[in-house]
């Protein structure tokens, strides 16, 4: 990790996609979810990805979040080619450099709030004291410290998503990805989560979200439009 920090030059972008394609094969059917994506995201940016359903947003985010691999093309993250890494290396990067927030929260039902937030730190092998410090800080950030002993099913959707945000930021990732983080929430809870992401960006985080909502998209400094697997627009907010 230290080595990665040393090799980064101030001019180079945090994320760089070159000619990324993604095709899915299902029962003789070939779906081109992404075709020829070129994209750069700099450190500290707040990017919203927008597009109609089925246009490839989730697929793009999965590749950016190293949950999936491109069929072809190059992906440089933090000045390092990550498109061709093996499963173990990808797991390491997901764990240390990426935070992911899902539409359906994806907390683990058998673990408490605390344990859910602690899980990525555990996978990283951090010592107990360090874990405790970070989990407390993360829960404090999302204002959920008082619920740390609860099970997920005892929380509302908005609360669950705040825990999911805490889990994503607990490890101090380089970049946060969120796939329609408000998709399963009512507007009030949605606002709370979006506010939270805004605060994180304000404190220096690189954030990249997928959203349907024009209003939420406008909170980002930059909006990327996707249509039928292609980038059709990339604009900075006025």
Ligand X SMILES: Nc1ncnc2c1ncn2[C@@H]1O[C@H](COP(=O)(O)OP(=O)(O)O)[C@@H](O)[C@H]1O
- 54 is in the binding site of which of ligand X, other proteins, Mg ion, none (Cβ under 5 to 8 A by kind)? ligand X
Q: Which three-class secondary structure state does DSSP give residue 29?
A: strand
Establish if 48 lies at the interface with ligand X (CB under 6 A): no
Q: Which of ligand X, other proteins, Mg ion, none has residue 232 at its interface (CB below 5 to 8 Å by kind)? A: none
Strand ranges in the chain using DSSP code E only, listed in sequence order: 15-26, 29-41, 46-50, 72-77, 80-81, 98-101, 175-179, 206-210, 222-227, 230-236
Give the residue with the Cβ less far from Mg ion, 58 or 112. 58
Site for other proteins in 28-57 (CB under 8 A): none
57 binding ligand X? (CB under 6 A): yes
55 binds, among Mg ion, other proteins, ligand X, none (CB under 5 to 8 A by kind): ligand X
**b/e 94-130 (16+ beta carbons within 10 angstroms → b):** bbbbbbbbbbebebeeeebbbbbbbbbbeeeebeeee
Choose from Mg ion, ligand X, other proteins, none: what does 9 bind? Cβ within 5-8 Å by kind. Answer: none
Point out which span in 25-33, 130-138, 152-160, 165-173 binds ligand X (CB under 6 A): 25-33
Tell me phi and psi for residue 54, to 5 degrees: 85, 5
- Interface contacts to ligand X, rule CB under 6 A: 24, 26, 31, 33, 51, 53-59
């Amino acid at each position: 990790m230290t080595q990665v920090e040393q090799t980064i030059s101030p001019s180079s972008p945090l994320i760089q996609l070159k000619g990324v394609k993604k095709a899915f094969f299902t029962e003789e059917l070939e779906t081109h979810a992404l075709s020829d994506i070129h994209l750069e995201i700099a450190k500290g940016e707040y990017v919203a990805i927008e597009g109609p359903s089925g246009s490839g947003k989730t697929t793009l985010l999965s590749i950016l979040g190293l949950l999936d691999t491109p069929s072809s093309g190059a992906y440089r993250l933090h000045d390092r080619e990550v498109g061709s890494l093996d499963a173990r290396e990808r797991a390491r990067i997901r764990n240390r450099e990426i935070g992911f927030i899902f539409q359906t929260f994806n907390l683990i039902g058998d673990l408490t709030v605390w344990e859910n937030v602690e899980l990525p730190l555990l996978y990283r092998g951090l010592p107990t004291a360090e874990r405790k410090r970070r989990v407390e800080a993360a829960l404090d950030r999302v204002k959920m410290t008082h619920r740390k002993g609860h099970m997920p099913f005892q929380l509302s959707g908005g609360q669950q998503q705040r825990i999911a945000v805490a889990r994503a930021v607990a490890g101090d990732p380089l970049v946060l990805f969120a796939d329609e983080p408000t998709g399963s929430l009512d507007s009030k809870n949605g606002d709370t989560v979006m506010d939270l992401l805004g605060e994180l960006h304000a404190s220096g985080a690189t954030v990249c979200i997928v959203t349907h909502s024009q209003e939420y998209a406008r909170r980002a400094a930059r909006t990327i439009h996707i249509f039928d697997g292609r980038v059709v627009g990339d604009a900075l907010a006025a």
